[in-house]
Chains A and B, each alone.
Chain A
Amino acid sequence: MADSTLPVDRPMELPGDLPGEQPGFTWLETLHTWVTTVDHKKLGLMYIGYALIFLLVAGVEALLMRVQLMVANNHFLSPEVYNRLFTMHGTTMVFLVGMPFIIGFANYLVPLMIGARDMALPRLNAFSFWMTALGGFFLYYSFLGAVGLQGAGSAPDTTWWGYAPLTERAFSRGHTMDYWALALVMSGIGTIGAAVNVIATVFCMRCKGMTLFRMPLLVWLNLTTAGLILVTISPLTAAQIMLLIDRYLGGHFFDSQAGGSPVLWFHFFWIFGHPEVYVLVLPAFAIANEVIPTFSRKAIFGYPAMVAASAGIAFISLGVWAHHMFTVGMSAPGNAFFVLSTGLVGVPTGIKIFNWIATMWGGKIRFTVSMMFAVAFVAQFLLAGLTGIMLSMAPWNWQLHDTYFVVAHFHYVLVGAIVFCIFSGLYYWFPKMTGKLLSERLGKWHFWLFVLGFHMTFDFMHIPGLLGMPRWIYTYQPGFGWEKWNILVGVGAFVQGIAILLFSFNMVRSYLKGAEAGPDPWDAWTLEWATSSPPPPYNFAIEPVVASRRPLWDQKHPEDPDWRYE
C-alpha cells in the first residue's frame, strides 16, 4: 500500500511572487496578470465570474418577459423585443452561464483534486476561456451591430435552438442569425478545447496512488462530461456552418422550398441539444457527489455504481434526441424507439438518486447552506425527472408539445437541479477560492427565498401549460384561465431575483469582510482541502501521495483509514 502521508505547503510571500495579489501593484499590472494567466485556478475563477455576470443579464431578460406575461393583453414589450429576449435568455443561460460555470468548476477543482499543479495544457486552457468569453461578447454585440428588420438594437430572435427555416435569410434578414451562429461556433471551439484539456489532465496528471477508481466522483463526472462534449458539440458546430452556407453561399440544407429540410436542422440541433442537458447536469451531480458525503459525514454510497451510472447516462443520452421531435411526424417505430430510450435514462438516474439518499441515511447531517441546496436539488431533480418521463411518452408529448408544461419541466432541470447545485458548489468552494467563508445567515435567507421563488415560478408554470398556454407567445387574450397562474409565476421570478441579488451581496461582503476559512473549513476529505485557501500558484509544494478515495480521511483517522476497505 502506498504511503498515506500528505505533505503540503504554504507559499512564501515574496515580493514579485504573486504580483496580482500584492499591495503596491497598479490595477493595470493586476489586470495584466489575469489577462495573461495560464493558471487553472485563475482561469476557473474567470469562467465562474463570467458566468455570474451573464446569469444576472439572463435573469434581467427573464424578469422582463415575466412582467410582460403577468397580465393579459400587455404591451410592456413589443413582440419583436419579446422574441429577442427569450432567444437571448435561452442562449445565454445554456452557453454563457451553464457551460462556463461547469467548465469553471472543472478548471478550478480537477487539478487540485487529483494532486496536480495545473491542467495538462495550460495555454490551451487560456485560449479556450478567451474563445468562450469573446463568443459571448460577440453574441451580445448583435444588439448594436446586427441590423435586422427592426434596425439597430436587433438581436437573434428565433429561439435558442434556431427554429429552422426561420433562420434562413428569407425570414431572418440582416445579421442577427449570423451573430448567433458565429458566436456559438466560437464558444464551441472554446468548449471543445476545455474538454480536451480535462481529458488530458485526468489521464496524464494524477498524483501517485491516484488510480482511476480512487479519483473523486467530481473528477469522474467531469471526465464523462468532457467525453460527451467532444461528441455533441461537433454536430452543433457542423449545423451552424451549414446554416452559414445557406445564408451566405446559397446553400439549401434547411430550405424546404429548394429541397432542403428543416427537420434535418432539428436532428442536428437536438443530437447536440439533448446530451447538452447532461453536459450541464452531470457536473451538477458532481458537485452533489462531493457536498452530500462531506455534510453527511459518510463516504459516498455505491461509488462504482455512481461511476457506472454516470457513464450510462452519457451513453444513453446520445440516443434520445428525437423525443424533442415527436410532433414532426416520425414513423411509429421511430417514436417507439425514442420513447423507450428516453425512459431508459431513468434507470441510471434513479441509481444516483437512491445512492445520494443512501449516503445521507444514517449520517450525521450538517445542514449548512451548501448542503441545503444539495438536498433541495435531490428532491427537485426527482420531480423534474418525473415530468420528463411524462413528456417522453409520445401521446402525452403530442398534447403538451411547445406549451408552458415543457418550459416548466426543463426549468425544473436547469434551475431546480443545475442552478441549485451551482449554488451548493459556490457555498462549498468559495472558502477555498477566496480564503473567506460566505455568511451562512445571509446564505439561509438566499436559500429560502430562492426555494420559495423557484417553486412559485416553476410549480405553477406547469398549470398554464396543462391548460394549453403555448410558449413563445408575447401576450394572450383574457379568459383562458392563465392570468392568475402567470401572476404567481411572475411574482416567483422576482423573489428569485431578490434571492440572487442577496447572494451577490453576500459574495462581495464576505470577500471583503468574511471570516477566515482556513485550509479545511468543512472537515472534508479530498485533496483540494489539503492546501491553503486560496491555494498557492503551484497547488502542492510536494506531490501528494494517496492510498484511498478519501486521502484526508486517512490522515485524520489513521486508526481507521479507508484503504483497508477499498
Chain B
Amino acid sequence: MSSHEERPEAPDGFVALPAPTAWPLVLAFGLLLIFLGVVTSAAISLLGLVLAVSGGIGWFGEVLPQERHELISMEAHEFAPKSTYRAVSRIHIDAQHRAHLPVTTPSVTAGLKGGVAGGIAMIVPATLYGLIAFHSFWYAVNLLGGAGVADWTNPTMAQITHFRLSALVTAAVIHAALSLLVGLLYGATLPMLPRHPILLGGLFAPLLWTGVLHASLSLINPFLDQKIHWVWFVVSQIAFGMVAGWVVAKQAHIRTQQYLPFAARVGLETPGLIAERHQEGLDQRTESGEEGR
C-alpha cells in the first residue's frame, strides 16, 4: 500500500501518472513477428527480434533510472453520496426460526428400524404384482436379483418367474442394504423437513427417485426397464417411504449439537461453558438472531 507514496511529488492541482508509451506494443509486435517467422520465413523472425530488442530497450528507458510520469491536472471536491433509500429496515427473525435446523434428530437405531419396516412393507405390493401379473412369487425377486445382468443375460419369462437361489441371495442383500441405508437417510433428513415430514419423505421423495430411475433406466439397463411395471413400482416405493417415515417419526428424538454453544461445537477447550450457559438460560439461537443484520 505504499505505491502512492512512491510516485514523485506533483505540483498542487496535478497528479503524476505513468506516461503513455508505445514500447510494450513494439515488444509485443516483435514477438508476434518472431512467431510468424516460424511459420513463414526466418527473415520475419529476424525483423521481429530486432523489434523485440528495441521494444525491450525502450521499455527499460521508460523506467530506468526513473519511471517516466506525466502530470495530469485535477480538481478535488467533496462528493456527497446520497441514497434514494433513506430508511434502513431490518429483517426480523423470530426465536423459533432456527428450529428448522435439525435441533433434534432420530437416533441411528430409529433410522435402521424405519428402513427395516419400510423394506418389509414394500415387499407386499412388489410380490402382489408378481402374483397377479405372472402368478409367480419370484418375479420381483429375480428382477432385483440380477435378471438381465452379468451371467444371466436375456432370461426367458419362465426363468424369471421361477425360484433361483443366487437371485434370492443377491436380491436379499441388495434389498436389505438399500432399505437400511435409505432408512438411515430418512432418520437424518426428516427432521430438516419443516412440515409434513411423512408426506414429504413418504410420498414426494419416492416419487422423485422413481422419476429419476424411470428417466435413466432405459440407458442403464434396458432389459430391466422393459420388465418393470412402473405403476406397481411407484406403489411399492411409496409403501416403503410412508412406513419408513412413519416409524422414524414415531421414535424418540435426541438433541443434536446445535444445542451446544459454538465454542463447544468447534471443539475448543471451554471448561464450564455448557453448565454456565444452562444456568443462565442462554440459548445460542437467540444470540445469533440478535446480531444478524
Contacts and interface: CB of A to CB of B under 8 A. Distances in A.
Nearest to A538: B15
Contacts of B75: 9-12, 541
Contacts of A395: 220
A130 B27 CA distance: 9
B76 A127 contact: no
A411 to B, nearest CB: 21
Interface residues of A, number: 75
Interface string A355-376: 0000000101000000000000
B225 interface: no
Contact of A186 (B3, B31, B84, B220): B31
A542 B76 contact: yes
A123 B62 contact: yes
Interface string B67-111: 000001111111111111100100100000000000000000000
B38 interface: yes
B232 interface: no
B137 interface: no
Given A12-B13, A538-B15, A556-B83, A7 B293 contact: no
A39 B206 CA distance: 60
A519 B74 contact: no
Given A134-B28, A206-B1, A123 B40 contact: no
Given A11-B74, A205-B1, A520-B81, A185 B35 contact: yes
B20 A33 contact: yes
Contact of B35 (A6, A123, A182, A565): A182
Contacts of B219: 399, 466
Interface residues of B, number: 48
A54 B99 CA distance: 52
Contacts of A362: 91
Contact of A131 (B3, B18, B31, B85): B31
Chain A CB within 10 Å — which of B20, B29, B62, B88 has the most?
B20
A179 interface: yes
A130 B28 contact: yes
Interface string B261-292: 00000000000000000000000000000010
A492 B138 CA distance: 50
Contacts of A14: 73
B123 to A, nearest CB: 28
A146 B73 contact: no
A33 B31 CA distance: 22
Interface string A239-265: 000001000100000000000000000
Interface string A523-566: 10000011100001110011100000000100111011000010
Given A138-B32, A560-B88, A126 B24 contact: yes
A131 B28 contact: yes
B66 interface: no
Chain A CB within 10 Å — which of B25, B27, B77 has the most?
B25
A67 B91 CA distance: 52
Main DSSP-derived SS at the B contact region? mixed
Given A14-B73, A186-B31, A541-B74, A117 B15 contact: yes
Chain B CB within 10 Å — which of A208, A299, A557 has the most?
A557
B173 interface: no
B63 interface: yes
A120 interface: yes
A323 interface: no
Contact of B25 (A6, A126, A185): A126
A207 interface: yes
B217 interface: no
A37 to B, nearest CB: 5
B81 A555 contact: yes
A122 B18 CA distance: 7
A36 B78 contact: no
A405 B189 CA distance: 32
A38 interface: yes
Contacts of B76: 7-9, 541-542
A290 interface: no
B59 interface: yes
Contact of B74 (A12, A207, A466): A12
A145 B36 CA distance: 10
A123 B29 contact: no
A538 B91 contact: no
B240 interface: no
A204 B59 contact: no
Given A186-B35, A206-B1, A520-B81, A35 B72 contact: no
B175 to A, nearest CB: 22
Interface in A497-533: 519-520, 523, 529-531
A459 interface: no
Given A9-B75, A362-B91, A127 B24 contact: yes
B74 A9 contact: yes
A431 to B, nearest CB: 15
A556 B82 contact: yes
Contacts of B29: 130, 134
Chain B CB within 10 Å — which of A11, A123, A135, A520 has the most?
A123
B98 to A, nearest CB: 14
Interface string B17-47: 1111111110111011001101110000000
A466 B218 CA distance: 11
A297 interface: yes
B2 interface: yes
Contacts of B250: none
B1 A37 contact: no
A145 B82 CA distance: 57
B4 interface: yes
A124 B67 CA distance: 13
Contact of B38 (A117, A182, A399, A543): A182
19 contacts: A10-B77, A11-B73, A12-B75, A17-B72, A36-B21, A36-B22, A138-B35, A175-B39, A182-B35, A186-B31, A206-B1, A244-B38, A529-B81, A531-B79, A538-B72, A552-B81, A555-B81, A560-B88, A565-B291
Given A7-B77, A120-B3, 18 more contacts: A12-B74, A12-B75, A35-B25, A36-B25, A39-B20, A117-B17, A130-B25, A131-B28, A134-B28, A178-B38, A205-B1, A207-B1, A362-B91, A395-B220, A523-B84, A530-B81, A552-B81, A556-B83
